[in-house]
């Protein structure tokens, strides 16, 4: 990588900029891509607020009236025990950060399929720009989009009632959050670009995305803690990078005790990002063609 | 001038699935010439260009462009060529200016230089006034001109034009050709083009190679090709018994064959200008009156037919190609 000369970096930025222009110059797409996280965090996050089950109710069993206070206390204990916080909405809202990063990164593969179909890739391949740069530019653009989307999700979360409880100094917590999401996006963008290297049909790419998005999401700790999963799902959840990203961001932002050490979680994400980025770039040298 | 800038040796491409698209072709292109690869859809033209421009890897054989091997030094080849693909390749969501400068940066040109050249080229193809308009609003002719400008941003030694006039109307085609000829003159470029328009290969190609089913059948100057294999056609309106006519024409050496079509006599001759007086004299001496006479010279289609046994026809093309073609045509006509 160190052999890349400045002119090629020029090309790299020009290509990244192209991807971004298509995104921010198209208000409709920008608005649409904002609506999705708003819907998720607003509707899903508020409606599926598991805390409601445990709080604010009093139960009357004939002959025994349990005061609301006690119910709330028990509820909070259960919540704390289960989610590591009594604030399920915040738990979910922070989990949405990795969720939006996953969804945004996934669509990176589509851009290669479209570039191929619309002839742009053919043109690119006849210019001296390194094949690796074509992939890296798409990864970079995807990361920038993901982080921008995540920021918006975070802001919406705060507006809807996300309460921070930082484990480390606030700037450090946000820095760690961005670093974590950066690594997550890096890995997933590379992975989905890799899957699209030879694809000529966007239907195939859509099918791959649809096949993987929900299982990836539900086999992670995005909605519920790993300890509540059946035994066979646990190893899958422990291999899923989303799990580690959530563990780090929840620890940093809302003080949830992580199931694994933060160092291990971070190292896992670094390895995940590096592995797929290296694979993606290597394979693109070999296989990226018309 | 006579140095070969493209050397192709046994170049072969077999697509996965066993389709033999290009079958051991060899030829050379001289510096500064317009070389036209002529053949129907699916003949292997685009695949050949794909390999010469390093977008496709040859299965077998080798090709050199500007002295660099397309398989071993692809980056060097890419830096000295310009490519105008058959499909429109500009990004529709970007403006003409954004498209052409993007390509400039991909060649690693400095910012100022990119801007200077982009301005010059857009002016040359008459798009400077609409440089900040999105490409999706462009007509077919404008798109093609933009593609040509984009192909020239690196001042290429060799310009590859893949079906540069596909789907365009006659006036636009003529205008595109004007640009191409001007370019050749201004920059002394070598131009390698593919086309399935016979008349374009004929009038603009310095040399023409006819390709069919992945094989090159013949290479030569258009007039040479026509002279070598075909005959002038003389049509005569004459009244009289066929037997008499047959007898009258029997002694003329230049006549290859003749037929009667709708009461007219159609004669194929090897040298029209020499044969015509003889035909007229022979018919007159039999007392037959020649009322009207016309001669047509052969076209490349006849050359094509001679070598392939059939007229230029549509071949089976892949779904992707068909998709791309439909899109190109649709956009070209918008």
- Which range in A54-58, A79-83, B90-94 is most confidently predicted, on average pLDDT? B90-94
B298 φ, ψ (degrees, to nearest 5): -70, 155
Whether chain A has a CB inside 8 Å of the CB on B320: the answer is: yes
A37 has a pLDDT exceeding 80: no
Quote the tokens at residue A251: 């620890």
Query: Per the domain annotation, does A61 fall within a domain?
Result: no
What is the model's pLDDT at position A268?
Answer: 96
* Among the partner residues B55, B83, B324, nearest to A289 by beta-carbon distance: B55
Taking 90 as the threshold, does the pLDDT of residue B30 lie above it? yes
Residue B219: strand pairing partners: B209
Q: Which of B51, B97, B102 to mutate to test the interface with A (most CBs of A within 10 A)?
A: B102
Average pLDDT over chain A reads: 84
CB-based contact A5 B108, cutoff 8 Å? yes
Query: B272 forms bridges with which residues in the sheet?
Result: none
For B216-240, write each residue's pLDDT tens digit: 989 999 888 887 776 788 888 888 8
Give the pLDDT confidence of A264-288 residue by residue, as tens digits.
Answer: 999 999 999 999 999 988 888 777 7
> Is pLDDT at B29 greater than 90 in this prediction?
yes
Compute the average pLDDT of residues B174-178. 83
3-state secondary structure of A189: helix
Number of domains in chain A: 1
Residue A215 lies in a domain: yes
Q: Report yes or no: A120 at the B interface, CB cutoff 8 Å.
A: yes
pLDDT for position B240: 81
Residues 6+ apart with CB under 8 A from B120: none
Whether A121 and A112 have beta carbons less than 8 Å apart is answered as: yes
Question: Integer distance in angstroms from the first to the last C-alpha of chain B?
Answer: 41
A128 vs B contacts (CB less than 8 Å): 75, 78-79, 106-108
Q: What percent of chain A has pLDDT over 90?
A: 29
Q: Is residue A119 part of a domain?
A: yes
* pLDDT tops 60 at residue A242: yes
Is residue A127 a part of any domain in this protein? yes
**Of the candidates A194, A165, A201, the residue with the CA atom closest to the CA atom of residue A90:** A165
Which residue in the set B56, B75, B93 is minimally distant from A128, CB to CB? B75
CA distance, residue A194 to nearest chain B CA (Å): 19
Residue of A nearest to B98 (CA): A18
Residue pair B114/B120 in contact (Cβ under 8 Å)? The answer is no
Tell me if A105 is assigned to some domain. yes
Residue A70 lies in a domain: yes
Task: Look at residue A6 in the predicted model and tell me its pLDDT.
Answer: 46
The verdict on residue A60 lying in a domain is: no
CA distance linking residue B237 with residue B291, whole number of Å? 6
Other beta carbons within 10 Å of B56:
22
Cβ pair B91:A22 closer than 8 A: yes
* A130 found inside a domain: yes
Band of the pLDDT at B95, cuts 50, 70, 90?
very high
Model confidence, pTM: 0.77
Q: In what order do the strands lie in the sheet with B255-261?
A: B255-261, B264-269, B232-238, B290-296
Residue A235 has pLDDT above 70, yes or no: yes
Number of Cβ within a 10 Å radius of residue B251: 9
Residue B237 has phi, psi (to 5 degrees) of -95, 115
- Residue A109: domain span: 2-55+66-287
Which of B35 and B17 is assigned the larger pLDDT?
A: B35
**Residue B92 touches partner A, C-beta closer than 8 Å:** yes
Of the residues B57, B59, B108, B112, the best mutation for testing chain A's interface (the one with the most A CB atoms within 10 Å of its CB) is: B108
Cβ distance of A120 and B85 shorter than 8 Å? no
Nearest to B85 among A21, A26, A123 (CB): A123
CB–CB contact A119 B83 (8 Å): no
């Amino acid at each position: 990588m160190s052999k890349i000369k400045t002119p090629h970096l020029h090309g790299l930025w020009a290509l990244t900029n192209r991807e971004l222009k298509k995104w921010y110059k198209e208000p409709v797409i920008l608005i649409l891509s904002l609506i999705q996280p708003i819907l998720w965090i607003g509707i899903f996050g508020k409606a599926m607020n598991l805390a409601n089950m445990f709080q604010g109710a009093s139960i009357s069993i004939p002959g025994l009236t349990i005061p609301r206070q006690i119910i709330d206390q028990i509820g909070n204990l259960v919540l704390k025990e289960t989610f590591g916080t009594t604030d399920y909405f915040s738990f979910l809202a922070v989990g949405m950060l990795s969720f939006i990063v996953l969804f945004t990164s996934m669509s990176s593969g589509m851009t290669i399929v479209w570039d191929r179909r619309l002839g742009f890739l053919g043109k690119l391949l006849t210019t001296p720009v390194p094949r690796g740069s074509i992939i890296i530019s798409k990864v970079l653009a995807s990361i920038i989009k993901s982080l921008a989307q995540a920021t918006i999700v975070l802001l919406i979360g705060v507006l809807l009632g996300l309460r921070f409880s930082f484990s480390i100094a606030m700037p450090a917590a946000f820095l760690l959050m961005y670093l974590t999401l950066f690594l997550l996006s890096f890995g997933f963008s590379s992975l989905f670009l890799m899957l699209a290297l030879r694809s000529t049909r966007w239907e195939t790419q859509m099918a791959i995305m649809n096949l993987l998005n929900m299982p990836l999401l539900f086999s992670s700790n995005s909605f519920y803690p790993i300890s509540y999963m059946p035994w066979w799902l646990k190893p899958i959840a422990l291999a899923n990078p989303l799990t580690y990203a959530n563990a780090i961001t929840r620890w940093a932002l809302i003080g949830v005790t992580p199931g694994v050490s933060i160092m291990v979680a971070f190292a896992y994400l670094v390895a995940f990002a590096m592995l797929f980025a290296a694979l993606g770039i290597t394979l693109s040298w070999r296989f990226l063609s018309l | 001038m006579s140095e070969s800038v493209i050397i192709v040796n046994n170049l072969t491409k077999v697509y996965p699935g066993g389709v033999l698209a290009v079958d051991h072709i060899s030829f050379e292109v001289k510096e500064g010439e317009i070389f036209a690869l002529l053949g129907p859809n699916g003949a292997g033209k685009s695949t050949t260009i794909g390999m010469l421009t390093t977008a496709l890897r040859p299965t077998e054989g080798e090709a050199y462009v500007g002295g660099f091997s397309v398989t071993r030094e692809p980056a060097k080849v890419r830096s000295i060529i310009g490519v105008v693909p058959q499909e429109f390749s500009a990004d529709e969501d970007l403006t003409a200016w954004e498209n052409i400068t993007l390509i400039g940066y991909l060649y690693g040109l400095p910012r100022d230089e990119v801007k200077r050249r982009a301005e010059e080229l857009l002016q040359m193809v008459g798009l400077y006034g609409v440089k900040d308009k999105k490409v999706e609003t462009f007509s077919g002719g404008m798109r093609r001109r933009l593609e040509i400008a984009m192909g020239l941003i690196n001042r290429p030694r060799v310009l590859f034009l893949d079906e540069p006039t596909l789907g365009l109307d006659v006036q636009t085609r003529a205008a595109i050709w004007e640009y191409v000829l001007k370019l050749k003159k201004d920059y002394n470029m070598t131009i390698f083009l593919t086309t399935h328009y016979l008349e374009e290969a004929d009038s603009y190609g310095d040399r023409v190679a006819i390709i069919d089913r992945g094989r090159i059948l013949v290479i030569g100057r258009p007039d040479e090709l026509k002279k070598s294999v075909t005959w002038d056609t003389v049509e005569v309106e004459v009244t009289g018994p066929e037997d008499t006519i047959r007898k009258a024409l029997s002694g003329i050496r230049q006549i290859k064959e003749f037929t009667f079509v709708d009461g007219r006599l159609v004669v194929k001759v090897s040298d029209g200008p020499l044969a015509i007086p003889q035909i007229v004299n022979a018919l007159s001496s039999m007392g037959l009156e020649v009322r009207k006479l016309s001669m047509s010279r052969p076209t490349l289609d006849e050359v094509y037919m001679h070598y392939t046994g059939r007229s230029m026809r549509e071949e089976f093309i892949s779904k992707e190609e068909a998709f791309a073609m439909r899109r190109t045509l649709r956009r070209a006509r918008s």
